[in-house]
Amino acid sequence: MKKHKFHIKNLFKKEEIEKPSIEEVHKYQDILTKIREETAKTIVGQKEVIDGILRAVLSDGHVLVEGIPGIAKTLIVKTLATVTGGKYSRVQFTADLLPTDITGLVSYSKEKEEFIVIKGPIFANYLIADEINRSAPKCVLGDTEILMPHGNLNHIEKIFNDHKGELILKQGNEEFYIPNKDLNIMAFDPKDKKIKPKKVKYLYRQLTNNPYYEINLRSGRVVKTSPVHPFFSFL
């Protein structure tokens, strides 16, 4: 497939071009049609999502792509990058992310006897910040007690078994279920920094033999978590 380099957004910057002509509008409309046609060779359906990402490209903006794993979110972006001749990169957008994981770093090369720049993933046309909402539900053991809206504590394994509905995705040792009835648990709201009831959209479990930690809290409670469990603090 022949690669093209497009500069579509330049049409919408007043300091560069006051007003595109009808011919130019038709030209770029044809380009967008070709992008959709090429993308459709890999991505079946998802037209609304693809159009939304293209609108973000035209307006030099950003897109939040939300959904369960396995529905081709990453593949859509990678395909659009290939079709438009752009570069694609990805970062794991979890709490342990460091600035150098995004921007890269400067290192000294003894062979070249000079400083070299190791570019981070942000130096790309399409950057995916993945796993934005990855947090506690995937990181505690089955006998961990979860605070419920009425003040009682339930083991997460019991909550899972009582509310486990339709299995919507099974990938390796991971399973995603839709709750069979409304389920609310107490969760942290970063907007007002309060703990409040939040509705659960999906139930998740994973079978693993990886080690875990026992965290002793000041209250005397012991929490068993995986090594990647996020803990928040107020600075």
Show the 3-state SS of the chain. CCCCCCCHHHHHCCCCCCCCCHHHHHHHHHHHHHHHHHHCCCCCCCHHHHHHHHHHHHCCCCCCCCCCCCCCHHHHHHHHHHHCCCCEEEEECCCCCCCHHHHEEEEEECCCCEEEEEECCCCCCEEEEECCCCCHHHCECCCCEEECCCCCEEEHHHHHHHHEEEEEEEECCEEEEEECCCCEEEEEECCCCEEEEEECCCEEEECCCCCCEEEECCCCCEEEECCCCCCCCCC
Q: Radius of gyration over alpha carbons of the chain, in Å? A: 23
For 137, the token pair is: 């539900």
In the chain, where does the domain assigned CATH 2.170.16.10 lie? 136-225
Alpha-carbon distance of 230 to 217, in angstroms, equals: 15
In this prediction, residue 94 has a pLDDT band, given cuts at 50, 70 and 90, of low
Asked if 234 and 190 touch (Cβ cutoff 8 Å), the reply is no
CATH code linked to domain 136-225? 2.170.16.10
Using a 10 angstrom Cβ sphere, with 0-12 exposed, 13-18 middle and 19 or more buried, the burial of residue 115 is exposed
- Looking at residue 11, its pLDDT comes to 45
Question: In this structure, are strands 88-92 and 126-130 parallel, antiparallel, or unpaired?
Answer: parallel
Grade residue 74 by pLDDT with cuts at 50, 70 and 90. Answer: confident
The whole-number pLDDT of residue 162 equals 93
Structure tokens at 75: 């593949």
**Whole-angstrom distance, CA of residue 57 vs CA of residue 40:** 18
In this prediction, residues 23-52 reach a mean pLDDT of 82
- Average pLDDT of the segment spanning 77-103: 79
Query: Please, which residues bridge with residue 127 across strands?
Result: 89
- pTM reported for the whole predicted model: 0.47
Q: What is the pLDDT of residues 140-172, one digit of tens each?
A: 888 888 888 888 888 889 999 999 998 888 877
Q: What is the mean pLDDT of the chain?
A: 78
- Asked if the model's pLDDT at residue 232 lies above 80, the reply is no
At residue 97, the pLDDT reads 67
Closest by CA to 195, choosing from 181, 183, 205, 185, is: 185
Report the range of poorest mean pLDDT among 60-69, 80-89, 207-216.
Answer: 60-69
